[in-house]
Chain A
Amino acid sequence: MAEPVRDYDVLVIGAGPAGLAAARAARGHGVRVGLVDAQATPGGQVWRHAVGQPPTPATGSLAAAIASGVDWRAQTQIVAAGPDELLAEDATGALRLRYRALILATGARELLLPFPGWTLPGVTGAGGAQALAKQGVPQAGRRVLVAGRGPLLLAAADTLRRYGARVIGICERTPADRLWRFAAGLPRWPGKAAQAVALRLRLARMPYWNDSEVLAAEGDDRVEAVEIRRGRQRLRLACDGVAVGYGLVPNIELAQSLGCALDTGFRHPHVRVDEHQRTSLATVYAAGEACGVGGRDSALLEGAIAGHAAAAGENAIPRALRGRQRRARAFAAWLRHHFEPASATWPAIAGDTLLCRCEDVTLSELEGFSDPRDAKLATRCGMGACQGRICGAAITELGLFAGHPATPDRRPPLFPARLDTLAAPFVPTKTGASP
């Protein structure tokens, strides 16, 4: 079978702020640019299209990219990496995407941690709840508890409220003293400070509890109540939804499968890049959250840097971009310092709590193993449809299998794919992939 082949000078994976900036910067040098995203609309998570709402900056940015000649491929999932090309799948079938330079703008996902009852319908991520509301999942009248860690909780609560949900409270795990130190330093970034103040004012009447967390969700076939710890108190609240997120995890799976070196000095590894956003592989660049969660500002700047470098070389990078990028990264590092303690203990998990939702594997089933590979083979933990993306991050966070690399080898497919896609000829030879 001869599946379609597309040839690009610069291929960009991910159409969030980093990917959009990368594609436009690269196209500005007149080269052939492809921009691919698994979603139907551009914007990634931070500029997610919201049903019935005005367009996000992503809409205009993509329109400009397309008008300049960028080839936009929506709803296209990358399945595997080969030499100088990627195997992808869209609604019509398999696709081979060839490139001279590749830019990974794969973003981040939410850190979701297990607790008793977390598999009940109605329990979602915090960013997850926000994404679902923007997709048109009705929120009117829903009683939702927002919980977890970090400034994303306020944004999630604000979105849910705007769509008509009744946010019954926000549980922030970070204790008050850390939050105050965070607030005290905020004026160093006036733009961020203004955003934070405006958000906090909009949510002024919403109960906000620090040093508090979800202990369990309860219900028969859906969540009906949630048990929380608030300081030393335990409370049980009736609710229709629990939206829990503990921050973000960089999506490094494609980089890993290509063989890019990772920066493992963080609890969740990042793609290692140099000052030109180049990875350890000469033709592969990375930008934005995949290089460490840094937010929209650094994603836009790094995307542009990578786009210039990939299309026209390091000398094409405008000098001003670098200074702005360093400043944006400094804000992210400072944010992480306050919301991510060096060590965290997670009490809200019992032996019979499911850790792997794809294969229904409990914590106690894993506890007999010291080697993650043995555990995986015996229990199927991490072998389900999410390919270990959810349970893997949770296992790292819970400190299971300490002493073993947090990022085992990545094997294709990167995402579940149709059999005829995987059957597409993809035979590596000395001269590259051949049909």
Chain B
Amino acid sequence: MSASVRVRVDGRPVEVVAGSSVAAALALAGVVAARRSVDGQPRAPLCGMGVCFECRVRIDGIGQQRACMTPVRDGMSVDTDG
């Protein structure tokens, strides 16, 4: 079985299989929207390959990170504005 890492998504602890992306951590944490659009609509991963920027979240205090392009790391802290 693959090892797992622990991350926090909007303060809630989640266990995620090592090698997964932050997008996977969001889904496992039950987060539907990664961010709000300029008009306030909920948005979630669309392209899955780093092009659309719909999955932007704050990771360890640094904003505008693509959840689909970032692998989870033990102790990582992820914040959405969804």
Contact = CB atoms under 8 A, between A and B. Distances in A.
Contacts of A359: 38
A51 interface: yes
Nearest to A135: B21
Contacts of B32: 121, 221-222
Contacts of A131: 47-49, 68
A112 interface: yes
Contact of A128 (B19, B49, B64): B49
A79 to B, nearest CB: 13
B49 A45 contact: yes
Contacts, number: 117
Given A128-B48, A137-B27, A138-B24, 8 more contacts: A38-B50, A131-B68, A136-B24, A222-B32, A357-B37, A357-B52, A386-B51, A390-B46
Main DSSP-derived SS at the B contact region: loop
A360 B48 contact: no
A112 B24 contact: no
Given A384-B53, A389-B51, A416-B64, A138 B27 contact: yes
Interface residues of B, number: 35
Most chain B beta-carbon contacts within 10 A, residue among A125, A137, A221, A357: A137
A331 B7 CA distance: 45
B47 A51 contact: no
Interface string B35-50: 0011101111111111
Contacts of A390: 46-47, 51-52
Contacts of B69: 38-40, 75
Contacts of B48: 124-125, 127-132, 135
B42 A222 contact: yes
Contacts of B16: 136
11 contacts: A45-B49, A52-B19, A109-B49, A109-B51, A110-B49, A110-B51, A121-B44, A124-B47, A128-B46, A132-B23, A132-B48
A132 B45 CA distance: 8
B71 interface: yes
Contacts of A51: 2, 17, 19-20, 24
A38 B68 CA distance: 11
A122 B17 CA distance: 22
B7 to A, nearest CB: 12
Interface of A: 38-40, 45, 49, 51-52, 75, 109-110, 112, 119-125, 127-132, 135-138, 221-222, 357-360, 384-386, 389-390, 416
Contacts of B76: none
A127 B49 contact: yes
Contact of A125 (B19, B21, B42, B47): B47
A387 B46 CA distance: 15
B24 A110 contact: no
User: Nearest 9 A-B pairs (CB), nearest first?
Assistant: A136-B20, A131-B48, A136-B24, A121-B44, A385-B53, A135-B21, A128-B48, A132-B48, A360-B39
A89 B52 CA distance: 18
Q: Which of B24, B48, B53 has the most CB of A within 10 A?
A: B48
A13 to B, nearest CB: 14
A283 B28 CA distance: 46
Interface in B28-82: 28, 32-33, 37-39, 41-54, 56, 64, 68-71
Nearest to B39: A360
Contacts of A132: 21, 23-24, 45, 48, 68
B46 A136 contact: no
Contact of B54 (A137, A357, A360): A357
A386 B52 contact: yes
B3 to A, nearest CB: 11
Contacts of A125: 46-48
B47 A109 contact: yes
